[in-house]
Structure 1
Amino acid sequence: MAVSGLVNIFKIAELRKRLLFSLGMLAVYRLGIYVTTPGVDRQAMQNVVSSGNLLGLLNFFSGGAFEQLSIFALGIMPYVSASIILQLLTVVVPALEKLQKEGELGRRKITQYTRYLTVVLAAIQGYGIATYLETLRDPAGLAVVADPGWSFRLITMISLAAGTSFIMWMGEQITERGVGNGISLIIFAGIVARVPAAAWNTFHAFRAPGSQMSELGVVVLLAIMVVVIGAIVFVERGQRRIPIQYAKRVVGRKLYGGQSTHLPLKVNTSGVIPPIFASSLLLFPATLAGWFPALSRVSTAIQSGSWIYNVLYVVLIIFFAYFYTAVTFNPVDVADNLKKYGGYIPGIRPGKKTADYIDYVLSRITFGGAIYLAAVCVLPSILTNEFNINFYFGGTSLLIVVGVALDTVQQIEGHLITRHYEGFTGPRGPRIRGRRLSTGQAVNA
């Protein structure tokens, strides 16, 4: 990254204001982490979360807010869940599908429905968490809730729903008036805030008496992190670009068309959604076992780190990678739009043949993306159990951090280039964009 690229950021008044606005909003979010919901014993809650269950997963994605039972404890996950639900419903509900195809006005309507659903989901989850917390005690027998009852449930439900709504508003403000995707940056900030603690845990494990981690083990750990980050950057920027040719047509006295372009298909179209869904499903039995003792054997069998857990984790990641890609990308619509505007893939007939070809290519690259996601997410468990290396940086967290950082840097570089400034890679360096295969490779896929 060129130093001049960083200096140029502050030379552009608009970009400087956007960047400072984003940082200010993220600072407000981090301060809100320490505002505890009334009626909760913070120390007892921290002891319960550290024992490892579904609350631990929620604590991870909320940036440590759940162990404080902050007003931001639910984080942005209700909004993510609402967005996914609306995306799924657009496939089966004709009215929503029609709205989605109406352009900007339709997208605004769907966004408004997403906000309403977010508040509803946050309220429901807040009430469920309140009733669940009333039954919790830490290993020392200390109750998490000192004065259970309807007043505590109502206050907790309102506080958590209001906190999620405020985070949702901050995310939208960052997207509109700041730099980068606001929702992604909020998740990014929560994860990055826990990196110092993970680094300290690694250092403490190395210096502890009788530690099995040697200097060579630390070097190997750092090398593995560099390789994993490099692999994430390599795949996240990877695209299969299918060549598109537009036929020539005469309108009046002018000749239009005849241009060549491409259809970019990302190797990892689903992003980090598959690991998030897979982790949630696998951690549910551990939480339900506290309510239903009959599930305790199932919870023990699929405990995090076991080979059964890892196998199920890989299978679920692959399944959700294909499922989410199928929901968010419709080859039939793409083929119809190409045919409508006179575009075609060289050597492929327009219409159904084009849709089948795009689906075939997408299925092949999605398999590679799913294997990549599974490998990155299972790697920490393999290092810990098989090679006795304490890897405190989870694969899912690395995926989110690197992916969001790449997208944000790409957006900043776009601002610089449009104003005739050097990008981060300098005047002669490559732009931060997706990699592509050659045209011949794309056609012969």
Structure 2
Amino acid sequence: MSTLYNLRKRIFFVFIAIMIFRIGSFIPIPGINIQVLEKFFIYKNSSILTMFNMFSGGSLNRASIFALGVMPYISSSIIVQLLTLISSYLRNLKKEGDIGKKTINQYTKYITFFLSIIQSIGVVISLPFLPGMKNIIVFADCYFYIIAVVSLVTGTIFLMWLGELITTKGVGNGVSLIIFSGIISGLPASVIRTYKLIKIKNFSFLYVFFLLLIIFFVIFIVVFIEKSQRKIIVCYARRQQGRRMYTAHHSYLPLKLNMAGVIPVIFSSSLIVFPSILLTYLRYVFNDYKKIIYFFDFLKFKHSIYLIVNIILIIFFCFFYTNIIFNVQDTANNLKKSGAFLPGIRPGLKTAEYIKNIVFKLTTIGSIYTVFICLIPDIVRYFFKVPFNFGGTSLLIVVVVLIEFITQTQTLMMSTQYKKILKKSHLYLKN
């Protein structure tokens, strides 16, 4: 009963935390004319800024204190994980268990603070240079810039803290749930916008049915792949412990088809968004420089070069993050220590090579699937002129985060039932 109460408490905490995030996304930075900013976003509906605004739950559109969202934290996580591959000090810290993880997490927070300062200064200073936004700042004095930068930095640090609280005291990954809630908040407006386009252009019933079929097909593929596993048979030899003889038995080593989950998509999006925004600002601030405009045109949202870069980043992060979360050598060593072996495979190095080969194949399939899901709405929108206002990246994040949330909830419920069975068996043996 206490565990069920704990589960309800955790879910309620997640709900309250998301409500706080949504309320905070409506608190504007003092001194900014929100109406001017909203007009700019209507004018720039297809730009990269729309994607960044969606990830922040519309906070950028409303000039909220949460305008930067959790993107600085994600960027700092990427930097720290990349540095782990280079720095032996960070690699040794990672092997130290919880103490090492806490130290690495502390470094991630420091980098987040540094990145949020740089990004907030860049956003605040560049705003008046954007087209049609000369009157966006009510009083452009030094006090405004200090207050605006402090507000944005504080908002990012608060969201980072809130995400960690959700992870420890709630259900699911806190940062993923914050991004999820931000995307979901824009879903009703996206559905209404799509419905209006269908009504204005007077599409046929078959056309609407085809649109719904694509949505359900994409969701079905995501759920099917995320639930798929490759089970490797693990055998345990017959062994004797004291006077007791344990018979030989076997179990399974389950490997997910998409081990990296939604992280590669979030990482690639965060890496693309900020350089693109920076180039957008540079284009308007330094409009005379042809080279900047030239590079901007190639990195424009939905441009072929942008899509190629996005595909390369997603594939890279699929392999990169899988290697971080699943160490093949450690798995092989743990199997050897526990007296387990794979049928027909020698323990140790041969087992590690065998598992590594399987993980590589699974990651290859997972990366192709991730790229396909992220690009299929854009492909359908381009070739079939379907007014689909919900991108594949958003759809993948929403479905995967929901699956993870439901899975963790079911795990907590199963643990409750397991404890009840143990309690009953203990009372039965006592009697």
Would you call these one fold, judging by a TM-score over 0.5? yes
Q: Find the aligned partners of 1:178 and 1:327 in 2 and give their Cα distance.
A: 24
Name 1:58's counterpart in structure 2: 52
Partner residue, 1:368: 365
Q: What's the offset of the Cα at 1:369?
A: 0.9
Q: Is the 8 A contact 2:70 2:160 kept in 1?
A: yes
Residue in structure 1 matched with residue 64 of structure 2 by the alignment:
70
1:339–1:79 CA distance, 2 compared to 1 (3 A) = same
CA–CA distance in structure 2, aligned partners of residues 178 and 286 of structure 1: 33
For the pair 1:129 / 2:123, whether they are aligned, the reply is yes
C-alpha contact (below 8 Å) 1:53/1:287 kept by paired residues: no
1:184 match: 176
For residues 296 and 342 of structure 2, what CA distance do their matches in structure 1 show? Answer: 50
Aligned counterpart, 2:338:
341
Query: CA 1:109–1:303 in 2, change beyond 3 Å: closer, same or farther?
Result: closer
Deviates more, 1:363-372 or 1:74-83: 74-83
Identity of aligned residues (%): 41
Aligned counterpart in structure 1 of residue 215 of structure 2, from 221, 225, 229: 225
SS in 1 for 2:417: coil
Structure 1: runs of 5 or more not aligned: 1-8, 422-445
* Amino acid across the alignment from 1:213: F
- Cα distance change on mapping 1:13 and 1:317 into 2, 3 Å: closer
Structure 1 stretch displaced more, 116-125 or 223-232: 116-125
More divergent stretch after superposition (361-370 vs 260-269): 260-269
Q: Is the 8 A contact 1:91 1:327 kept in 2?
A: no
- 2:88 paired residue number: 94
Q: 1:172 touches 1:183 (CA, 8 Å); kept in 2?
A: yes
Q: Distance in 2 between matches of 1:352 and 1:185?
A: 39
**Relative to structure 2, which stretch is displaced further, 162-171 or 334-343?**
334-343
Q: C-alpha distance in 1, partners of 2:331/2:2?
A: 40
1:216-275 superposed Cα distances (whole Å, 9 cap, x missing partner): 211111111111101100111122222223445545445569453333222212222333
1:299-310 matches, within 5 Å, as 299-310=296-307
Change in CA separation of 1:339 and 1:419 when aligned onto 2, cut-off 3 Å: closer
Code of the residue aligned with 2:104 in structure 1: it is I
Q: Is 1:291 aligned to 2:282, yes or no?
A: yes
Tell me if 1:263 matches 2:257: no
Paired with 1:101 and 1:307, the residues of 2 have a C-alpha distance of 41
Judging changes above 3 Å, is the alpha-carbon distance between structure 1 residues 322 and 131 closer, same or farther for their aligned structure 2 residues? same
Q: Secondary structure at the match of 1:67?
A: coil
Structure 2 residue aligned with 1:317: 314
Distance between the aligned counterparts of 1:158 and 1:88, measured in 2?
28
Q: TM-score if structure 2 supplies the norm length?
A: 0.86
Q: C-alpha separation between the residues in 1 aligned to 2:327 and 2:41?
A: 40
Matches within 5 A, 1:103-114: 103-114=97-108
Say yes or no: does 1:17 pair with 2:3.
no
Q: Is the contact made by 2:378 and 2:392 (CA closer than 8 Å) also made in structure 1?
A: no
Tell me how far 1:111 sits from its aligned partner: 2.6
- Tell me, in whole angstroms, the C-alpha distance in 2 between the residues paired with 1:75 and 1:282: 15
Tell me, what secondary structure is at the counterpart of 2:129?
coil
In structure 2, give the amino acid aligned to 1:39.
G
Runs of 4+ aligned structure 1 residues displaced above 6 Å come to none
> 1:412 Cα shift?
1.9
Distance 2:257 2:119 in 1: 34
For 2:3 and 2:252, how far apart are their aligned partners in 1?
35
Match of 1:238 in 2: 228
Which is richer in helix? 2
Return the alpha-carbon distance in structure 2 between the equivalents of residues 149 and 359 of structure 1.
Answer: 58
Number of the residue aligned with 1:84: 78
Q: 1:100 to 1:367 in 2, by over 3 A?
A: same
What is the aligned-residue RMSD (CA, Å)? 2.7
Structure 1 residues 349 and 230, CA gap change in structure 2 (3 angstroms): same
1:402 Cα deviation from its structure 2 partner: 0.7
Which of 377, 397, 400 is residue 397 of structure 2 equivalent to? 400
Residue 354 in structure 1 maps to residue 351 in structure 2: yes
Question: Contact conserved, 2:49 with 2:277, CA < 8 A, in 1?
Answer: no
Identify if the C-alpha distance between structure 1 residues 119 and 278 changes in structure 2 by more than 3 Å, giving closer, same or farther: closer
Aligned position for 2:424: none
1:29 match: secondary structure = helix
1:204 to 183, 192, 196: 196
Q: In 2, Cα distance between the equivalents of 1:226 and 1:391?
A: 13
Q: Structure 1 residues 420 and 149, CA, compared in 2 at 3 Å: closer, same or farther? A: same
Alpha-carbon deviation of 1:126? Answer: 1.5
Moved more, 153-162 or 270-279: 270-279
Contact 1:127 1:154 survives alignment (8 Å)? no
**Letter paired with 2:254:** P
Could you tell me which of 380, 385, 402 is aligned with 2:382?
385
Tell me which amino acid in the other structure corresponds to 2:153.
Answer: A
- For the residue of structure 1 that corresponds to 2:254, the secondary structure is strand
Say which of 18, 22, 25 aligns to 1:30.
22
Query: Does the 8 Å contact 1:44/1:137 carry over to 2?
Result: no
Q: Report the CA distance shift for 1:322/1:414 in structure 2 as closer, same or farther (over 3 A).
A: closer
- SS of equivalent to 2:137: coil
Q: Summarize the Cα distance change of 1:97–1:309 in structure 2 as closer, same or farther, 3 Å threshold.
A: closer
What TM-score, normalized by structure 1, do the two folds share?
0.83
CA shift in 2, pair 1:13/1:148, >3 Å: same
The 3-state SS of whatever aligns with 1:291 is: helix
Is structure 2 residue 273 aligned with structure 1 residue 276?
Answer: no
